[in-house]
Amino acid sequence: MGANYIFSLTPTFTQGLVFGQLSILVLLVLILKYLFLDSGPPQLASPLAYSTASFEKERASVSRPNFPVCETEFRNEKDGAESADWFNLILRQVVETYRTKLRNDLPGSDGDEIARRRIERFANTIRPQSFVDPIQILSVDLGSSAPRISGARIKTRVPGTDEGDQAIFDMTYTDTLSVSLSTSVLFHYPIPYFIRLPITLNVSLSLFSSSVALTPPDPLSSNPTLTISLPSSFTLDLKTTSLMGSRAKLADVPKLHEMIQAQVRRVLAERGTWKVVMPWVTTVEEVREEVAKEEEQSILDNEELL
């Protein structure tokens, strides 16, 4: 009868198999926990303490492009597209104004620090607290260029449709815009806040290009607005460098780059329409109510199709 027991004083093949599987499982857990994962409490350190040599080398190797204020390369008389030099001049000044105000009108490292703190504060207000530890922004590069518009053309109203006249532009944005951050991903199995995976990221913009549709307000609308919209077929190229782990680190995980780019694309696609309220004609609250009704109607229409 003793041969029917899994554990006995005399080693058997079954005992050796079970003990070997348990040993491999324990060894795997120890490697993950003490090399890649961090089970200690989060430490709030100086942002400079998270900087790595690879990120510093990455940022130092990127040179700032120097774009002239007035550009004549967008003139195209063959296809009837209008020159957008005047609009590029205004757009560049608008972007530079926001960039300066984000730095609180301070140059150099003082302005960089103020911009870093503001972006860090905003990032922590939108982070999922049950999934991500507090985000620490290590450094921010606000860039030095601005989106460039070309190929301005008119798309006239199509009879029998709800689409009105539109002005179509081609937009291209290439800059040194980048952000470096450090945080930890929380794991709640088998108990809440069991372990955390430290992650350090550096995300920079390589290229963003898209057509932009500018729809003028409809005089017959109850809430006329100027609408700016992006199509879902825009081009987005991000460059991502990453370090994952506590003691042993995994560098530049391709799946992480794909996930970040996909999330940014999704947010831009979902929020790719902006409505500018006409002063003294309508209010922001009225426009929001109208947009909410349009979204509800769109959901009902999709349910009927299904």
Mean pLDDT for 127-138 is: 88
Of 219, 223, 225, the closest CA to residue 273 belongs to: 225
Mean pLDDT for 34-62 is: 48
Most confident of 96-105, 186-195, 217-226: 96-105
The vertex-22 CA angle with 20 and 26, nearest 5°, equals 120
pTM for the model stands at: 0.66
Q: What pLDDT is recorded for position 223?
A: 82
Least confident of 171-175, 221-225, 263-267: 221-225
Q: What pLDDT is recorded for position 33?
A: 59
CA 288 to chain centre: 24
Of 64, 290, 94, 59, the closest CA to residue 175 belongs to: 64
Q: What pLDDT is recorded for position 61?
A: 47
Residue 266 has pLDDT above 80, yes or no: yes
**pLDDT tens-digit series, residues 162-191:** 677 888 989 999 998 999 999 988 887 777
Least confident of 66-75, 149-158, 232-241, 282-291: 66-75
Mean pLDDT for 288-305 is: 75
- Name the band, by pLDDT with cuts 50, 70 and 90, for residue 116: very high
Least confident of 69-83, 87-101, 286-300: 69-83
Residue 105 has pLDDT above 50, yes or no: yes
- Name the band, by pLDDT with cuts 50, 70 and 90, for residue 108: confident
CA 241 to chain centre: 14
Of 200, 225, 194, 231, the closest CA to residue 29 belongs to: 194
Least confident of 147-156, 158-167, 252-261: 158-167
Q: Cα torsion for 90, 93, 94, 97, to the nearest 10°?
A: -160
**pLDDT tens-digit series, residues 8-33:** 556 676 766 666 677 777 666 666 65
Q: What pLDDT is recorded for position 81?
A: 60
CA distance 269 to 276: 18
Residue 93 has pLDDT above 90, yes or no: yes
Least confident of 33-37, 243-247, 269-273: 33-37
Q: Which two tokens stand for residue 253?
A: 């995980």
% of the chain at pLDDT higher than 70: 72
% of the chain at pLDDT higher than 90: 24
